[in-house]
Structure 1
Amino acid sequence: MPHPGWVSFTFDGIGTGWEISTPSTLSADIRQRLLDVVTGYDAAWSRFRIDSLVATIARCPGRYELPAGATDLGRLYGTLYRLTGGAMTPLVGGSLAQLGYDARYSLRAAGPPLPAPRWEDVLHWQGSVVTTAAPVTIDVGAAGKGQLADLLSAELNACGHGEHFIDASGDLLNRGPDPVRIALEHPADHGQGIGTVMLGPGALCASAANRRVWGEGLHHVLDGTTGSPVRSVVASWAMAGTAMVADALATALFFVEGARLQREFDFAWLTVYSDGHAEFSADFEGTLFS
């Protein structure tokens, strides 16, 4: 429990476990409102559902109205697509499916790595409207869990529960009164830590090559320009004001050095490379174990 004496509401959503902690118990009505937010998000953005909006977009090119929050999501992805030279892209869904991380969870590659289509060739994302020129599989997994945490936080605020702590399977959003000490998981051993960091008001999100791993050397962080898993980075952490931004930047750190990203984003970061060395920003106020 992040804050002693708080109570938790746990549930599963968008393929992962969630825990929301608050000073007092959430009513049944508020819990249902939170679950409705999760259901709506999944119905729009899940590429693992044949009835989702993005599944429809994947089948039929055209013009589509996206749900609330799409404007911020598209703007964020557009910036990171530019900063990473196309390596981080919302069009990586087809590349993931090619390597076996598909809607059936086959975990069996259908062929060699497949580069994602270039955004500028097939996708126009303006505000909450997308227009596609070809069948494309949109995957916002690099920022979606964080955005959903922000949406749940907004719903809690609207319900009068301004103090809360959200744990989305390790991606964290602290809206409580006190900082929380967080252990940083060792990228090679889930049971060990490489250090700790204090999380005050805001979010801490991580990305790691040892999560969602299958096959020989296959994991979920792909370079959109090649369709292949990133090899140079094994884990990253990002701290930002919102979970959506922290979530997206944790993935972007697999492609771009944190110092470059800090020119356009206000965040703190830590990156662990495959050769064992780590780099971090001066404001990542944590302790790394020797």
Structure 2
Amino acid sequence: MASWRFDAIGTRWEIETSAELSVGDRAAVAAEIERFDREWSRFRADSDVTRLGREGGTLASPDAGVMLDAYRDLSAATDGAVNPLVADSLAALGYDAEYSLVAGEPLAAPAVWDERVSWTDDAVTASAPSLLDVGALGKGRLVDLIMAVLADTPGDLVVDAGGDLRVRGAAVRVGLEHPYDPTKAIGVVSVQDSALCASAVNRRAWGNGLHHVLDARTGVPVRTWAATWALAPEAMRADAVATALFFDGGPALAESWGVEWVRMTTDGRVQRSPGCPAELFVVESGRGARPAAEN
């Protein structure tokens, strides 16, 4: 397999193909990543979503409908714990556009976010300045988009964005990285013609108990669950469920979407969905497996 590694959207990417990608294919991948980032990154001063946060109005994007529809389901399943207006809550704890990592008081996100934000298939409109954060599923969405860009590439294909990955063709053996010891894995799973996404509280963490997975109802980082993994046909749904699994309604949403999953508590207990194909174990490094990272 040929491998192309690069950095984008704040994470390390690896695209594996049966043969080297052409210059045109690489340019198409780079252009799609840049388009998505320019539209949806709250860390860019020139992005459309940053403008929406300053001014309100409309953000035109082919991703608007599919992502906001998923957020509606996420919000309903988790009783409002997952909310695309959590950006200001993250910023209040220091995870802001400048990466200040200086925490202030927790800030709850607006509970009725869908009264401030409306959307169609190809646009989202904010009735007042509203900064969106699509981190609950955006990286998975972008992985799916890159798979589509490379749809005509022959042979096996793996698109891996910082451990959130989608596989076409031959199966890939993936290790489920232990959230408190990256040299170990809590299990392995074979991914074939599907996607695996994960989230963990030890990544994007700073300060005393601060990390990027917040309960939007309180603006406080979650405490019960340490790591989640979700396996689905598409990366966006796997990414979304990996976020939802930090909350009580996550397993029900996963079942309704047909997503298999594993999650681990902060005290080391592991749960999984009844049909999850992962092989779980207590102490093993997962040597030879591709490590599954975080959102």
| TM-score, scaled relative to structure 1 | 0.93
Q: Helix, strand or coil for the counterpart of 1:262?
A: helix
How far apart, CA to CA, are the structure 2 residues paired with 1:238 and 1:104? 30
Q: Describe how 1:210-249 pairs up with structure 2 within 5 A.
A: 210-249=202-241
Conserved? CA contact 2:227–2:264, under 8 Å: yes
Q: Helix, strand or coil for the counterpart of 1:71?
A: helix
In 2 relative to 1, CA 259–99 (structure 1 residues): closer, same or farther, beyond 3 Å? closer
1:128 CA displacement:
2.4
**Across the two proteins, how many residue pairs are aligned to each other?**
281
**Matched residue, 1:67:** 61
**Matched residue, 1:3:** none
How big is each residue's C-alpha offset from its partner over 1:217-269, in whole Å with a ceiling of 9 and x where there is no partner?
00000011000100011000000010011011100100135541234211100
Conserved? CA contact 1:7–1:23, under 8 Å: yes
**Matched residue, 2:285:** none
| Residue in structure 2 matching 1:171, options 164, 170, 174 | 164
**Matched residue, 2:18:** 23
**Following TM superposition, where does structure 1 have runs of at least 4 consecutive aligned residues deviating by more than 4 angstroms?**
none
How far apart, CA to CA, are the structure 2 residues paired with 1:229 and 1:65? 29
How big is each residue's C-alpha offset from its partner over 1:59-94, in whole Å with a ceiling of 9 and x where there is no partner?
0022x1421122111111111111111110111111
- Unpaired runs of 5+ residues, structure 1, are 1-5
How far apart, CA to CA, are the structure 2 residues paired with 1:282 and 1:120? 33
| Residue in structure 2 matching 1:83, options 69, 77, 80 | 77
In 2 relative to 1, CA 89–200 (structure 1 residues): closer, same or farther, beyond 3 Å? same
Aligned alpha-carbon RMSD (Å): 1.3
How far apart, CA to CA, are the structure 2 residues paired with 1:258 and 1:101? 24
In 2 relative to 1, CA 175–14 (structure 1 residues): closer, same or farther, beyond 3 Å? same
How far apart, CA to CA, are the structure 2 residues paired with 1:263 and 1:280? 12
How big is each residue's C-alpha offset from its partner over 1:30-59, in whole Å with a ceiling of 9 and x where there is no partner?
101110000101100000111000000000
Conserved? CA contact 1:70–1:127, under 8 Å: yes
How big is each residue's C-alpha offset from its partner over 1:131-189, in whole Å with a ceiling of 9 and x where there is no partner?
223222100011111110100000001x434631011111110012x222111100111
How far apart, CA to CA, are the structure 2 residues paired with 1:126 and 1:162? 35
- Unpaired runs of 5+ residues, structure 2, are 283-295
Conserved? CA contact 1:259–1:281, under 8 Å: yes
| Residue in structure 2 matching 1:58, options 53, 61, 64 | 53
With a CA cutoff of 8 Å and minimum separation of 6, indicate the structure with the bigger relative contact order.
2
How far apart, CA to CA, are the structure 1 residues paired with 2:154 and 2:86? 36
Q: Describe how 1:1-290 pairs up with structure 2 within 5 A.
A: 6-62=1-57, 64-109=58-103, 111-118=104-111, 119-157=113-151, 159-161=152-154, 163-176=156-169, 178-290=170-282
How far apart, CA to CA, are the structure 1 residues paired with 2:35 and 2:191? 29
How far apart, CA to CA, are the structure 2 residues paired with 1:230 and 1:155? 35
How far apart, CA to CA, are the structure 1 residues paired with 2:120 and 2:222? 29
